[in-house]
Chain A
Amino acid sequence: MNAADPPIHDLEVWHAHYGPGTPAQAPVPAHASLAALVAAASERYATQTAFTTVVPNGMNGSLSFAEVDSLSDAFAAYLREELALAPGARVAVQLPNGLAYPVAAFGVIKAGCVLVNTNPLYTPSEMRHQFCDSGAEALVITELFADKLDALVGQTPVRHVVVASVPELFPAVPRGIVRAVQRWWSRALPPVRVPHARFMAAVAKGREHLARLDGAAAVRGWWQAVAPDATAVLQYTGGTTGVAKGAQLSHRNLLSNIAQIRAMGASHIEPGRECVLTALPLYHVFAFTANLLSFYDAGARNVLIPSPRPVQNLQRAIENTPVTWITGVNTLFNALLNEEWFVAFPPRRLKAAIAGGAALHHAVAERWEQVTGTRIAEGYGLTETSPVVTFNPLSGPRRPGSIGIPVPGTDVRLVDDAGRPVPAGEPGELVVRGPQVMQGYWNQPAETALVLEDGWLRTGDVAVMDPDGFFTIVDRKKDLIIVSGFNVYPNEVEDAVSRLDAVMEAAVVGIPDARSGEAVRVYVVRRDPGLTTEQVIAHCRTVLTDYKVPRSVVFRDELPKTPIGKILRKTLKAEVAAEFAAAPSR
Chain B
Amino acid sequence: MLTDTETRLLGVMMALIMLGMGASLTFRDFLIALRKPKGVLVGLLCQYGIMPFLGCALALVLGLPPALAVGLILMGCMPGGTTSNIFTYFSKGALALSIMMTSVSTLVAVAVVPPLIALYSGLAGVTGEFVIPASNVAQVLVVLLVPTLIGMVLRKVNPNIGATVELLGGLLGVLVILFLIVSWVPRNHQLLATTPWPVYFAAIGLGLVGMALGFGLARLLREDLHRARTIALETGIQNGPLAVLIVTLTFSGEQQQQVLLIPVLYSLFIVLSSTAVTLWFRRLAGREALQRDNAKVGAVAAAAR
**Chain A contacts to B: CB under 8 angstroms:** 54, 57-60, 171, 173-174, 177, 181, 312, 316, 319-320, 330-331, 334, 340-341, 344-345, 358-359, 361, 363-364, 491, 494-495, 498, 504-505, 525, 558-559, 561, 564-567
Contact = CB atoms under 8 A, between A and B. Distances in A.
Interface string B274-305: 00000000000000000000111111111111
Contact of A358 (B32, B294, B304): B304
Given A57-B163, A565-B301, A345 B32 contact: yes
Interface stretch (B112-120, B154-162, B234-242): B154-162
Interface string B55-88: 0000000000000000000000000000000000
A558 B304 CA distance: 16
| 6 nearest A-B residue pairs (beta carbon) | A565-B300, A58-B159, A57-B163, A361-B303, A505-B298, A565-B297
A451 B28 CA distance: 52
A559 B301 contact: yes
B interface majority secondary structure: helix
A494 B159 contact: no
Contact of A363 (B36, B160, B166, B303): B303
Contacts of B35: 340, 344
A350 B105 CA distance: 35
A345 B303 CA distance: 24
A205 B231 CA distance: 53
Contacts of A565: 296-297, 300-301, 304
B28 A174 contact: no
Given A58-B162, A177-B164, A330 B301 contact: no
B36 A174 contact: no
B36 A316 contact: no
B304 A57 contact: no
B255 interface: no
A173 B302 contact: no
Contacts of A312: 96
Contact of B164 (A174, A341, A498): A174
Contacts of B302: 498, 504-505
A58 B167 CA distance: 12
A341 B28 contact: yes
A276 B86 CA distance: 33
Contacts of B299: 504-505
B193 interface: no
A216 to B, nearest CB: 31
8 contacts: A60-B159, A319-B26, A331-B300, A340-B32, A345-B31, A495-B305, A505-B301, A565-B297
A139 B120 CA distance: 67
A149 B305 CA distance: 38
A171 to B, nearest CB: 6
Contacts of A498: 302, 305
Interface string B1-32: 00000000000000000000000001011011
Contacts of A58: 155, 159-160, 162-163
Given A316-B159, A345-B31, A525-B298, 5 more contacts: A58-B155, A173-B160, A173-B164, A174-B163, A330-B303
Contact of A558 (B28, B29, B298, B303): B298
Contacts of A345: 28, 31-32
Interface string B160-203: 10111011000000000000000000000000000000000000
B227 to A, nearest CB: 13
A58 B305 CA distance: 35
A567 B28 CA distance: 38
Contacts of B159: 54, 58-60, 316, 320
Nearest to B29: A341
A9 to B, nearest CB: 28
Contacts of A330: 303-304
Contacts of A60: 159-160
B303 A171 contact: no
Contacts of B298: 504-505, 525, 558-559
Given A57-B166, A177-B164, A344 B32 contact: yes
A71 B220 CA distance: 59
Nearest to B294: A558
Contacts of B295: 504
B120 to A, nearest CB: 36
Nearest to B34: A344
Nearest to B295: A504
A525 to B, nearest CB: 6
A98 B229 CA distance: 35
Given A59-B159, A177-B164, A320-B159, A334 B303 contact: yes
A505 to B, nearest CB: 5
A359 B300 CA distance: 11
Given A340-B35, A341-B28, A59 B301 contact: no
A494 B26 CA distance: 44
B282 to A, nearest CB: 15
Given A358-B304, A505-B302, A344 B167 contact: no
A2 to B, nearest CB: 37
Given A319-B28, A345-B32, A561 B301 contact: yes
Nearest to B297: A565
A359 B163 contact: no
